[in-house]
Amino acid sequence: MSARVCIRLLKDFPVLGKEGTVHVVTKKYADQYLLPEKIAVIVPITTVYEPSGPPSPKIRPMLKLGDLKTGGFEASMRELRLPPMRFFLKTTPDLPIQSVSWEWVEPGRLRLLPQGNIYVKIEYAKHRYLATLEYVQSLASRKVRKPIIVDGSNVGWLSGEPSVSGLFEVYYYIAKRSDQFYFPLLWVFDRSFRRVLKWGEKKIFDEFCRYAGVKVVDYADREVFETAKSLKTPYILSNDRFKEFFTEGYIRISL
């Protein structure tokens, strides 16, 4: 189970709640997003609930994203600046403008994904891609550069050990940190990546692989370049320098 911390919001944040409210979130989500963006500060976990009786009206636990039917979730949805459910997008100069639509991931499926982001399905060119809400918000508002090929087995080792957490950090990086925006994301994994994951993360990885744009192969490095060539995109996201490959003409982006 992921380590969790207690945070207090320094300003209104629609996904969680109003300024001053206290929530329990994953430590990784707090360390890599809420604290650096000055959205929240860590507080002692004993302040989440009153010592006795029901929770204070001003203090509530973290929103359970796995249950879309809760009143708290619906209230938060009304506060979000949601992009249009359908909009038009031009991904590359050689392709015509195409329609893009999105919808929420089903409640049952959400339970198979890490908490901390709200997950959506993006429908584009008759395929459904997994993404986060902040990613689809950026998709609707930013200029798309081109598709990008993600070396999934590599970014999955970003923290020094195999974990699916690194995969979901890619959405945040492209939506919030990258100077250029890329869509769609095409993922390539070594078949061995799933075997080294912890048991609980194997289910998350299996859910991740249900969506379009994910390939699991015997040798991911070669497939990364073959996929980039077939899609006529030079952009590859990986921390691997691919010294054994001829990389001229490709642009490697690292986290």
Q: How many CA atoms lie within 13 A of 14 on its CB side?
A: 12
**In this predicted structure, what is the pLDDT of residue 80?**
62
Model confidence pTM above 0.85: no
Structure tokens at 117: 């982001």
**In this predicted structure, what is the pLDDT of residue 43?**
81
Give Cα separations from 129 to 94, 104, 211 (angstroms): 22, 12, 5
Distance CA 38, CA 105 (A): 28
**In this predicted structure, what is the pLDDT of residue 136?**
95
**In this predicted structure, what is the pLDDT of residue 67?**
35
Report the interhelical angle of 133-141 vs 165-172 (nearest 10°): 30
- Please, which residues have CB within 8 angstroms of residue 99's CB and are 6 or more apart in sequence? 86, 87, 88, 89
**In this predicted structure, what is the pLDDT of residue 51?**
33
**In this predicted structure, what is the pLDDT of residue 159?**
65
**In this predicted structure, what is the pLDDT of residue 79?**
53
Structure tokens at 136: 């689809």
Collect the ranges in the chain with pLDDT lower than 70: 1-3, 14-16, 44-80, 93-94, 115-117, 158-159, 244-246
Alpha helices in the chain, H assignment, sequence order: 27-29, 71-79, 107-110, 133-141, 152-155, 165-172, 192-196, 199-208, 220-231
**In this predicted structure, what is the pLDDT of residue 77?**
47
